[in-house]
Chain A
Amino acid sequence: MKKKNLINNSRREFLKNSSVAAAGFFIVPRHVLGRGFVAPSDKLSIAGIGVGGKGQSDLAEFSKSPKANIAFLCDVDERQAANSFKRFPDAKHYKDWREMLDKEHKNIDAVSVSTPDNVHAVAAFAAMQLGKHVYVQKPLTHDIYEARMLTEAAKRYKVVTQMGNQGASGDGVRQMREWYNAGIIGDATALYIWTNRPVWPQGTGYPTTKDDIPKELDWDLWLGPAQTQDYHKEFVPFSWRGFWAFGTGALGDMGCHLIDPAFKTVGLGYPSEVECSQVSIYEKMWTPDYFPESCPAASSIKLKFPGKDGKPDVKMYWMDGGIRPERPDELGPDELFGDRDGGGVLIEGTKGKMMCGTYGSEPRLLPASRNQEVNVPKTLARVPEGHYVQWVNACIAGYGKMELSSSFDYAGPLTETILMGNLALRSWNIKNGRNFPGRKKLLWDAVNMKITNFDEANQFVKREYRSGWEAKWV
Chain B
Amino acid sequence: MKKKNQVSDSRREFLKNSSLAAAGFFIVPRHVLGRGFTAPSDKLHIAAIGAGGKGADDINQFDKSGKAEIAYLCDVDDRQAVDSRKKFPKAKYYKDFREMLSKEGKSIEAVSVSTPDHTHAVAAMAAMQLNKHVYVQKPLTHDIYEARMLTEAAHRHKVVTQMGNQGSSGDGVRQLQDWYNAGIIGDVHTIYCYTDRPIWRQGVARPTTTSSIPPELDFDLWLGTAPKKDYFEGVLPFNWRGWWDYGTGALGDMACHIMAPAFAVAGLGYPVSAECSVATKYIENWNKAYYPDSGPIASHITLIFKGKNGKPDVELHWMDGGIQPTRPAELGANEVMGDGGNGVIFLGTKGKMMAGTYGVDPKLLPTSRTNEVKVPKTIARVPGGDDGHYAAWVEAAIAGYGSDKAKNLSSHFDIAGPLTESVLMGNLAIRSYDIQKKKGNDTEYPGRFIKLLWDGPNMKITNFDDANQFVKRNYRDGWSLGV
Contacts and interface: CB of A to CB of B under 8 A. Distances in A.
Nearest to B462: A333
A453 B332 CA distance: 11
Nearest to A200: B285
Size range of the chain B interface in the assembly: 35 or more
B273 interface: yes
Interface string B243-287: 000000000000000000000000000000101011111111110
B452 to A, nearest CB: 7
A280 B327 contact: no
B70 to A, nearest CB: 28
A275 B327 CA distance: 8
Given A202-B282, A326-B275, A340 B297 contact: no
Nearest to B198: A282
A327 B451 CA distance: 8
Contact of A327 (B275, B281, B323, B333): B275
Contact of B452 (A281, A298, A333): A333
A277 B324 contact: yes
A300 interface: yes
B206 interface: no
Interface in B284-329: 284-286, 288, 297-300, 302, 315, 317, 319, 321-324, 326-327
Nearest to B281: A297
Contacts of A239: 285
Q: Which of A196, A278, A297, A443 has the most CB of B within 10 A?
A: A297
Main secondary structure of the interface of A (DSSP, over half): loop
B5 to A, nearest CB: 47
B323 A277 contact: yes
Interface in A320-375: 321-327, 331, 333-337, 340, 342
A279 interface: yes
Interface in A416-432: none
Nearest to B326: A302
A337 B334 contact: no
B196 A280 contact: yes
A326 to B, nearest CB: 4
Contacts of B275: 326-327
Contacts of A315: 326
A285 B333 contact: no
Given A273-B333, A280-B196, A333-B450, A238 B285 contact: yes
Interface in A107-152: none
Contact of A275 (B284, B317, B326, B451): B326
B273 A297 contact: no
Contacts of A280: 196, 298, 321-322
Contact of A326 (B282, B317, B336, B450): B317
A408 interface: no
Contacts of A198: 282
B335 A440 contact: yes
B383 interface: no
Given A280-B322, A288-B196, A324-B300, A440 B282 contact: no
A442 interface: yes
B282 A201 contact: yes
A72 interface: no
B200 interface: yes
Contacts of A327: 275, 302, 451
Interface string A229-247: 0000000001100000000
B285 to A, nearest CB: 5
A324 B429 CA distance: 14
B463 interface: yes
Contacts of A334: 450-451, 463
B237 to A, nearest CB: 11
Contacts of B336: 440
A238 B284 CA distance: 11
Contacts of A331: 451
Q: Which of B327, B340, B452, B463 has the most CB of A within 10 A?
A: B327
B194 to A, nearest CB: 8
B127 to A, nearest CB: 31
15 contacts: A239-B285, A279-B322, A297-B279, A297-B281, A298-B298, A322-B279, A323-B299, A323-B319, A324-B300, A327-B451, A333-B452, A337-B449, A440-B336, A441-B327, A441-B334
Given A302-B327, A333-B452, 10 more contacts: A200-B285, A201-B281, A202-B282, A239-B285, A297-B297, A297-B298, A319-B300, A323-B279, A325-B300, A342-B280
**9 A-B pairs with least C-beta separation:** A280-B322, A277-B324, A324-B277, A322-B280, A298-B279, A441-B333, A333-B451, A326-B302, A279-B298
